[in-house]
Amino acid sequence: MALQLPPLALYIHIPWCVQKCPYCDFNSHAIKQGIPEQEYIAHLLADLDQDLSLVSGRSLSTIFIGGGTPSVFSAAGIGQILQGVKQRLNCDTDMEVTLEANPGTLEAERFTGYVNAGVTRFSIGVQSFQTAQLKALGRIHDSNEAIAAAKLAKQLPLKSFNLDLMHGLPQQDLTGALADLQQAIDLAPPHLSWYQLTIEPNTAFASRPPILPPDDTLWDIQQQGLELLQQHGYQQYEISAYAKTGQQCQHNLNYWRYGDYLGIGCGAHGKITLPSRNAILRTVKIKHPKGYMDISRGYVDSREQVAAEDRPFEFFMNRFRLLEPCPISDFTAYTGLPLSTIAEPLKEAEQKELITITDSHWQISDKGARYLNDLLTIFI
């Protein structure tokens, strides 16, 4: 069956941050001798030039600038990047442009500059409003800076902004976790990312694990936190994302709906559909800044096709992060596979009450969301 082109997004990775947090397993590098901003911008745009053949005539629906801490770049630098993108690609008139920002690099005086440069949405890495927790997490800001950043974002002519908040922090109890969440809600962000701290391999926390709350406490935090969010008008639309009506992150929705995205910058990942070759490509760029900016090497670290037998798992790994119904037609369109290839796994998932099925849609159930890994395993 013929593959169809899904919507196209762009991810831009800026790898530097003031200091590396002990829980972070992202491709980030602490600033030691300044940032080669102009040199890196030139490489980002050259990287994009090499990927233009993968666009297939589509316009960009969203841009997400992540890191690292992209807000260590100047507003003029972010403007250069966005202008360079718009010179190379058609962009939707209402395109969402998100910039990740940390309160402690601030930045506050830069926020207006970022908006003038074309940013329409901020994602602010708060993580906690409690000083002791922020220190344990290695964050460079305090609670007052976090509150000030959120208030400033609310005053600016943005389409939206997100607050990033963690729970299940070292020695955190139910009261402390809910107080953090209530503080975030009181700042009235249109969007909240609220997720549990996990210990990832190759991080400082992995080598020196902190004492985390017991499972019973984590469950109580999750359940009572969800109730609190719902009481204040936040709708859960993804495993760890909550939004007021119409304020979902469009860039992330494209990921989870198995859309396409170019990835430029150090270690950036991309997913691209090529109907003419009946292929879905996964691309990864060179990870370390020094290697990435070595022009003799090019920017691509790997470019691999997704095998047909792997496409069902990939599709559902993304789609079932979303609580919304999934159109059955999307599977055939975006994987190029007939429904017969997943008939048995779907039957098993339905029998186990992990999903519901209608004539036109599949939807993850509450039980499926709770046992997501069990659900996805069925499609391997």
143-158 pLDDT tens trace: 888 898 889 889 989 9
Beta-carbon count within 10 A of 88 CB? 15
In a domain, 288, yes or no: no
Q: Are residues 315 and 210 in the same domain?
A: no
Q: Are residues 353 and 220 in the same domain?
A: no
Q: Are residues 145 and 236 in the same domain?
A: yes
Q: Are residues 203 and 344 in the same domain?
A: no
When pLDDT is averaged across residues 19-36 and rounded to a whole number, the result is: 71
Residues 237, 191: Cα–Cα separation, whole Å: 11
Q: Determine the pLDDT at residue 269.
A: 97
In a domain, 260, yes or no: no
CATH number at residue 324: 1.10.10.920
Using the Cα atoms of residue 134, residue 138, residue 142 and residue 145 in order, give the sign of their dihedral: negative
* Residue 238 clears pLDDT 70, i.e. is over it: yes
Of the candidates 225, 254, 283, which is a domain's last residue?
A: 254
Of the candidates 206, 234, 254, which is a domain's last residue?
A: 254
In a domain, 31, yes or no: yes
Q: Determine the pLDDT at residue 106.
A: 52
* Residue 194 clears pLDDT 80, i.e. is over it: yes
When pLDDT is averaged across residues 168-172 and rounded to a whole number, the result is: 90
Q: Are residues 86 and 165 in the same domain?
A: yes
When pLDDT is averaged across residues 308-334 and rounded to a whole number, the result is: 97
pTM: predicted TM-score of the whole model, two decimal places: 0.94
Q: Determine the pLDDT at residue 27.
A: 66
CA distances from 195 to 102, 153, 203 (A): 17, 21, 18
Cα 332 versus chain centre, distance? 25
Q: Determine the pLDDT at residue 97.
A: 98
Question: Residue 63: CA atoms inside 13 Å, Cβ hemisphere, count?
Answer: 27
**DSSP character string of 287-350:** -SHHHHT-TTT-SEEEEEEPPGGGHHHHHHHHHTTB-S-EEHHHHHHHH---GGGGHHHHHHHH
State which residues form the domain around 320. Answer: 310-380
Residue 211's pLDDT band (boundaries 50, 70, 90)? confident
Residue 21's pLDDT band (boundaries 50, 70, 90)? low
**Among 119, 137, 364, 339, which Cα is nearest to 237's?**
364
Beta-carbon count within 10 A of 364 CB? 24
Q: Are residues 100 and 180 in the same domain?
A: yes
Residues 26, 139: Cα–Cα separation, whole Å: 15
- For 262-289, the pLDDT digits (tens) are 999 999 999 999 999 999 999 999 999 9
Check residues 307 and 107 and name the one with the higher pLDDT. 307
Q: Are residues 322 and 245 in the same domain?
A: no
In a domain, 269, yes or no: no
Region of poorest pLDDT, from 31-40, 135-144, 371-380: 135-144
In a domain, 180, yes or no: yes
**Among 127, 129, 111, which Cα is nearest to 71's?**
111
Q: Determine the pLDDT at residue 198.
A: 83
Region of poorest pLDDT, from 71-85, 161-175, 198-212: 198-212
* Residue 105 clears pLDDT 60, i.e. is over it: no
* Residue 25 clears pLDDT 60, i.e. is over it: no
Q: Are residues 115 and 237 in the same domain?
A: yes
Number of domains into which the chain is organized: 2
CA distances from 12 to 47, 93, 214, 285 (A): 10, 19, 37, 11
Check residues 163 and 18 and name the one with the higher pLDDT. 163
CATH number at residue 146: 3.80.30.20
Q: Are residues 320 and 198 in the same domain?
A: no
In a domain, 101, yes or no: yes
Residues 99, 12: Cα–Cα separation, whole Å: 10
- For 196-208, the pLDDT digits (tens) are 988 777 766 767 7
**Are 222 and 196 within 8 A, CB to CB?**
yes
In a domain, 96, yes or no: yes
Q: Are residues 244 and 124 in the same domain?
A: yes
Residue 339's pLDDT band (boundaries 50, 70, 90)? very high
Q: Is beta strand 260-265 parallel, antiparallel or unpaired with respect to 235-238?
A: unpaired
In a domain, 279, yes or no: no
Q: Are residues 156 and 22 in the same domain?
A: yes
**Are 329 and 361 within 8 A, CB to CB?**
no
Q: Are residues 236 and 334 in the same domain?
A: no
Check residues 31 and 291 and name the one with the higher pLDDT. 291
Q: Determine the pLDDT at residue 77.
A: 97
Residue 34's pLDDT band (boundaries 50, 70, 90)? confident
